Amino acid sequence: MKKIFSVIAAGAVGLTLVSCSKKSDDNKIKIAYLPITHSLAVLETADELAEKTGLQVELVKYGSWNELMDALNSGRVDGASVLIELAMKSKEQGIGLKSVALGHRDGNVIVTSDKINSAADLKGKTIAIPHRQSSHNILLNDALSTAGLTTDDINITELAPTEMPSALAGGQIDGYCVAEPFGAKAVSLNAGKVLFESKELWENSLCCGLVLTDKYIKNNPENARVFTESYKEAGENLTKEKALETAEKYLSQEKEVLELSLQWIAYDNLDITEDDYTVLAEKVKSYGLSDNPPSYADFVKNDF
């Protein structure tokens, strides 16, 4: 009898452990990000959500978009704050993703050397972007078009964001467009100046988006809803002062760089409208980033 009770007790403990483990997994969401100001709404949400709802946000930091997309596409994370064009490309290639919100509004600049004073001056120059599939590539195309130029008239190179300020200061490149705060970094070092802000080139431009995997949404619909709604609420409440506090906590940058960077960005109203997405899809096609971007209905989820 003692042996029987021991077996029953051991089984009960095992079931409890399995139950607790499953409960723990069910109350967690794993989100990938890069340490940039464009990710601040995700970082702020992670700070607030566990205390309010019990949903644990596990932040997974990556050093490049390629590393992050590999984790997202392979299902090692449940979602990400990511360049929306990269997520669109993955969706086009059959990866199960939905974009549930914007990462921010505005927040990009084209930074150049002091010798460049207009878009026309970009002709023949070397300009860096972080990735071909990016709003930075689109903004560069938009800037060139104001002077009747195309990317055939310049030399484009892809660089890691952290390398761009020093490359500009050292003369290896003549300018760049990238996620913040790396544009502000060059300005603060007096290595470059702002030639264009994104809002001057593309009103209501889309850049980074919050995406979740179809698998996570299907298996955890309530958590996906709570996370998305909390994320948008965090964005609405992310004042410049609060954004600076969060940026200083998570980003390894000087305060003056962050303060400058945050002058160009906003985190309120993070819904993705069909009109704005249609403009993005048209630019993606016209500038050769993709021949067949996903439709708004297939890619954007607003109906939690």
Domains in the chain, number: 2
Q: How far is residue 147's CA from residue 202's CA, in Å, rounded to a whole number?
A: 15
Q: How far is CA 251 from the centre of its chain?
A: 14
- What averages of pLDDT result for each successive group of 10 residues across the chain (304 residues)? 45 40 67 96 84 87 95 97 97 97 95 97 98 97 98 96 96 97 96 96 94 97 95 93 94 95 94 96 96 97 89
The answer to whether residues 151 and 124 belong to one domain is: yes
The answer to whether residues 132 and 263 belong to one domain is: no
The answer to whether residues 125 and 177 belong to one domain is: yes
Q: Check residue 23 and give its pLDDT.
A: 42
Q: How far is CA 241 from CA 152, 208, 245, in A?
A: 42, 21, 6
Q: 131-143: per-residue pLDDT in tens?
A: 999 999 999 999 9
The residues near 271 (Cβ < 8 Å, ≥ 6 apart) are: 101, 102, 232, 302
Domain boundary among 201, 228, 262: 201
The answer to whether residues 248 and 283 belong to one domain is: yes
Q: Check residue 303 and give its pLDDT.
A: 87
Q: Identify whether 304 is part of a domain.
A: no
Q: Check residue 11 and give its pLDDT.
A: 47
What would the 3-class secondary structure string for the chain be? CHHHHHHHHHHHHHHHHHHHHHHHHHCEEEEEECCCHHHHHHHHHHHHHHHHHCCEEEEEECCCHHHHHHHHHCCCCCEEEEEHHHHHHHHHCCCCEEEEEECCEECCEEEECCCCCCHHHHCCCEEEECCCCCHHHHHHHHHHHCCCCCHHHCEEEECCHHHHHHHHHCCCCCEEEECCCHHHHHHHCCCCEEEEEHHHHCCCCCCEEEEEEHHHHHHCHHHHHHHHHHHHHHHHCCCHHHHHHHHHHHCCCCHHHHHHHHHHEECCCCCCCHHHHHHHHHHHHHCCCCCCCCCHHHHECCCC
The CATH number of residue 32's host domain is 3.40.190.10
Cis geometry, peptide bond prior to residue 35 (ω within 30 degrees of 0): no
Q: Check residue 8 and give its pLDDT.
A: 41
Residues facing 175 on adjacent strands? 112, 127
Domain that holds residue 160: 109-201
Q: Check residue 25 and give its pLDDT.
A: 58
Instruction: Record the tokens describing residue 23, joined without a space.
Output: 């409960």
The answer to whether residues 184 and 214 belong to one domain is: no
**Predicted TM-score (pTM) of this structure:** 0.89
Q: Identify whether 11 is part of a domain.
A: no
Q: How far is CA 45 from CA 67, 116, 242, in A?
A: 23, 40, 12
Q: Check residue 304 and give its pLDDT.
A: 82
Q: Check residue 53 and give its pLDDT.
A: 78
Residue 129's φ and ψ, nearest 5 degrees, are -135, 160
Q: 71-121: per-residue pLDDT in tens?
A: 999 999 999 999 999 999 999 999 999 999 999 999 999 999 999 999 999
Q: Identify whether 8 is part of a domain.
A: no
The answer to whether residues 144 and 270 belong to one domain is: no
Burial of 29 (0-12, 13-18, 19+ CB in 10 A): buried
Q: Check residue 51 and give its pLDDT.
A: 73
Contact 104, 34 (CB under 8 A): no
Contact 134, 85 (CB under 8 A): yes
